[in-house]
Amino acid sequence: MKCIIVDKDRESLQYLKQILESISFVKVERTFSDPLEALFYIRKNQIDLVFSEIEMPLFSGSEMVFNGGDKPMVAFVTQSNAFAVRAFEIGALDYVVKPLTYERILKTVLKAYDLKIRNVMDIKGHDHLLSSSKMNLFVKSDSRMMRLMHQEILFFEGYSDYVRIYNTSGKPLMSLLNLKSLEARLPVGMYCRVHRSYIVSIDKIDFVERKRIGIGNHIIPISDSYANAFFGLIREMELSG
């Protein structure tokens, strides 16, 4: 998902960029301190999500929602709640009050991603593909196209240009596919990248201990580069008293 950030506060801008770049399915295309430059960029490029400071000099951040042409989703970031009602009146995706946290930004990004997937399916008129993708995954193994139910998949392990698919049915399948392209095709919310070599099925996790995941008899490492995204997702699902 392609994002840009607009903020006059350089320190805040760099911190938000760092958070977004730790989320595996987000790409920060550009950052701007000048909202006019950001607006021109939006008009010439396809952007999915804009994080914008709402209290911008010379050009109110809220105007970006109206003037972007093929408009991206906009999440405002600000120091106070003063503009919250106005932001949602003009169609903002979200309104985030500083100080920023990883968990809060992840929540906004997941909301945007879900809307993006839903809109793409509606535009193409392929709603049946969305429901099907939540049920099945077709992969080529040897000379056959094999159908796997998502509920059967435990995790994926990458080996250069091959992926080994572990499932509840028995012997793992090998497919000529790289993990990055596979990750882009998986239904959002069902799986999480936890290591350069592993994508796990969230529903199949038995336990998480420090930086290890237990799925059945398998122990899967969590690397530093994916730890924030994974533990942020787990905290969203955690029950608290």
pLDDT, tens digit (0-9, with 9 covering 90-100), for 81-121: 766 666 666 677 888 888 888 888 988 888 888 777 655 54
10 Å Cβ neighbour count for 180? 12
Helix (H) or strand (E) holding 209: strand 207-209
Domains of the chain: 2-124 (3.40.50.2300), 134-237 (2.40.50.1020)
What's the CA gap between 174 and 157, in Å, rounded? 10
2-60 pLDDT tens trace: 999 998 888 989 999 999 988 878 899 999 988 888 888 888 888 999 998 876 544 45
The residues with which 195 forms a beta bridge, in sequence order, are 198
pTM assigned to the model: 0.50
Of 74, 71, 29, nearest in space to 56 by CA:
74
